[in-house]
Amino acid sequence: MDLGQLKPVNDDTGKENQTSKIIGDQIEYQFALGESFSLSLFGAEFGGKGALPDNTKYEYYKAGIFVAELRVWMGPLFFGVHGGRYFLTWIESLSTYTGLK
C-alpha cells in the first residue's frame, strides 16, 4: 500500500501544477525457472485528485503499470529483459467512475 504526494512540474517552464495526494497499491512476485532464470511480475495502481492545466473537467485520475521481466542470474547479479503496459485515466468525478474500463 502506498500513500504520498504528487507534484507535477512542467520541465520547459518550471511551472508547478496542482499538488495531489495519492493512494495506491502494488504487488510483485518472482517465480524461479531453474537455478539461473526467474520471471518477475509487477503491478501497481495509483489514484488521486488532480486537474489538467488546460481542462478542469476532470477531478480525479488513475494510473497504473503491469510489467513482466525475465532475469538471468549470475551469482548475486542478474540481467533482465522486461516489457509492460502503462495507463492513465482521467475521471470527471468518483460517481462517474462506476463501470469505466
pLDDT surpasses 90 at 3: no
The C-alpha atoms of residue 2 and residue 28 are separated, in whole angstroms, by 14
Q: Give the pLDDT band of residue 51 (cuts 50, 70, 90).
A: low
Contacts of 68 (CB under 8 A, 6+ apart): 39, 40, 41, 42, 82, 83, 84
Q: What pLDDT is recorded for position 83?
A: 96
pTM: 0.62
Convert the pLDDT of each residue in 61-75 to its tens digit.
788 899 999 999 999
Q: Identify the CA nearest to 44 among candidates 21, 65, 22.
A: 65
